[in-house]
Amino acid sequence: MDCTLLITIFVTFHVLVPIVSSYGHANMCQAFCGNLKIDYPFALQSGCGHPGFRELLFCINDVLMFHISSGSYRVLDIDYPYQSLVLHDPHMSTCDSVVLGGRGNGFVVEQWRAPYLNPTSDNVFMLIGCSSESPLFQGYHGKHSPCRNVSGMSCEEYYGCPGWDMIRPNQDGPVYGSGPPECCALPFEDIKAVNLSKLGCQGYSSAYSLAPLRRAGPDEWSYGIEVKYSMQGNVGFCRACEATGGSCGHDIDDKNDLCLCEGWNSTATCDLVHSESHRRKWSLVVALAGFVIGTIILGTSHLA
Ligand SMILES: *[C@@H]1O[C@H](CO)[C@@H](O)[C@H](O)[C@H]1NC(C)=O
Ligand SMILES: *[C@@H]1O[C@H](CO)[C@@H](O)[C@H](O)[C@H]1NC(C)=O
Ligand SMILES: *[C@@H]1O[C@H](CO)[C@@H](O)[C@H](O)[C@H]1NC(C)=O
């Protein structure tokens, strides 16, 4: 056989195929908002990221905002290895100020999104100024209360914050009496939703402990809502997609995972040979190779 033919076949399959399949190595979905990196499962563009986190993050003037049914929060940090993010609500009470009037967001997620987002078990919610009619205190009838300490953080300590001096200038400490406590600390899993109007509370604070570090006092706690995110076991899909130069996304209509490749989308990876959903470009390569080989065969037969 003519050695030109062999070389052509070799060149076609070893040069042309890798060139076609290497398209799309620039990640189409990664982005930055200010100095926060937005990566899988999160995204700013529609069709990018995991479907459980769609329409969740928005970048407004370099400030990353997180939007759920209870409101908008500023994202202070995203920790990808620990799969958590920290949210800030401007109307949340801190050590320096106790905000009343029910202005805080609390934390309520849409039901369909709940499996993907959950405040961590180390995160304490401290509900402030709740009425005695609050569902929190129903069913307890003066026995023990639902309030407890979370990760070493308690309302007893929180009362020592300067924020309390401003709303109760003439008192030395919290008012203890027959009524409910002024502050009730709980982990999220005890109530599943922090809805101030539903719980009949005036305000709330949220703090998280940076385990294994135990912060000495409430002025050293980290204030914010630490949320753990979960991808429900399809991290493997994204890893395989990215390994072939794709960006992990989803179908805008049916919400199924999609690997976004340059010029086409795959339900698996951007690997031309192994991807079932990509026959068109592959057959184009085969046709092109056939054409080149055919031309060479014709050319060599003319010469013969
Ligand atoms: C691939 O999917 C993304 C996200 O669903 C969509 O925006 C884009 O138009 C699709 N591209 C092609 C070539 O179908
Ligand atoms: C909070 O509770 C109120 C009263 O029950 C309800 O109208 C409102 O929709 C709830 N908010 C959220 C975000 O679920
Ligand atoms: C919570 O911790 C405080 C000390 O910080 C303690 O006085 C209080 O009894 C504890 N409360 C509960 C319910 O364990």
Query: Is residue 10 pLDDT above 90, yes or no?
Result: no
pTM: 0.80
User: What residue segments make up the domains of the chain, in order of their start?
Assistant: 1-24+283-304, 28-81+231-269, 89-225
CA 64 to chain centre: 12
Give the ligand at the shortest distance from the Cα of 67.
2
User: Where does residue 248 fall: left (phi above 0), alpha (psi -120 to 50 degrees), or beta otherwise?
Assistant: beta
pLDDT in tens, 241-254: 999 999 999 999 99
Contact predicate 269/245, CB 8 Å: no
pLDDT in tens, 134-187: 999 887 665 567 899 999 999 999 999 999 988 765 555 455 556 788 999 999
What is the mean predicted confidence (pLDDT) over 1-9? 53
* β-bridge mates for residue 37, sequence order: 32
Mean pLDDT for the chain overall? 84
What is the spatial distance between Cα 104 and Cα 212, in angstroms, rounded to a whole number? 29
Asked whether 234 lines ligand 3 (CB < 6 A), one says: no
Give the ligand at the shortest distance from the Cα of 159.
3
> DSSP character for 14?
I
CA of 101 to the centre of ligand 3 (A): 27
What is the spatial distance between Cα 230 and Cα 190, in angstroms, rounded to a whole number? 19
| pLDDT computed for residue 140 by the predictor | 65
What is the spatial distance between Cα 191 and Cα 135, in angstroms, rounded to a whole number? 10
CA nearest neighbour of 242 among 214, 218, 266: 266
| pLDDT computed for residue 24 by the predictor | 43
| pLDDT computed for residue 231 by the predictor | 87
Asked whether 146 lines ligand 3 (CB < 6 A), one says: no
